[in-house]
Amino acid sequence: MSERMKGKIALVTGAARGIGEAIARAFVDEGARVVLTDIDDAAGQAAAERLGSAARYQRLDVREADDWDEAIEGVLTNEGRLDVLVNNAGITGFEQGMVAHDPEHAELADWRAVHATNLDGVFLGCRAAIRAMRPSGQGSIINIASRSGQVGIPGAAAYASSKAAVRNHSKTVALYCAEQGLAIRCNAIFPAAILTPMWEPMLGDGPEREARMAEFVADCPLRRFGRPEEVAALAVMLASDEASYMTGAELIIDGGMLAGTATPSVDLGPKE
């Protein structure tokens, strides 16, 4: 524990499990006080308790402006200020089963549900954070986007669209804060194939699970899923003062998938 975030106050959305919980844990390990938020109260409270006295849980539905107002008021009242916000809460749309999410068959209600959490939630979070951080004139906003926001995903149109919008909104927030003369930085992390509960509907729990896992990472040069703590390490860096000159940046953690396709080496014969 190097305490790279000593004394900082952070709020993490979607922190009951997966990447959000891993980020909250990493922040606490680095000396921060963390407010974990989620809509799964039981899991969120349990996650906060596991992290000890430096963490607490507060319910926050990122889709609701009133919830954001209440959450930020709670942070300012109990912790005194907000230094770091991680907009992590997100859904794929497959949580309730493998319904159609392609551009031809997706239902409008399903499309809107994904965007309400993934995009509206990020907009509301960024807006709330800027207002909370303005008095100190500084802070770090970290938006969890996705590789799916940089490429087309035929079977997950809403998810890809929402994460692409998060990508652009992060840059807009970064430029706006700089224009305002604020040292409030906004950066985005783009994970892919990180093994979290979000993958459960796609992987299943039957005997074919391992085969499905292998299929999903077949295009990944590292041939494995990433771990939530590997994403958390990037969040720590962006939240810390080490990244004071980084804003509007994109950090990709995808096992090399966006780098391209590995080409087998060619034997050119003996070299003279």
How many Cα atoms sit within 13 Å of 34 on the Cβ side? 34
Structure tokens that stand for 240 in this block? 């810390």
Q: Are 35 and 71 in contact (CB under 8 A)?
A: yes
Give the Cα separation of 34 and 86 in Å (integer). Answer: 11
Distance of CA 168 to the CA centre of its chain: 15
Does residue 159 carry a catalytic annotation?
yes
Q: Are 254 and 220 in contact (CB under 8 A)?
A: yes
65 — phi, psi (to 5°)?
Answer: -60, -40
Q: Are 187 and 174 in contact (CB under 8 A)?
A: yes
Q: Of these residues, 57, 159, 176, 245, which one is catalytic?
A: 159
Q: Known catalytic residues?
A: 159
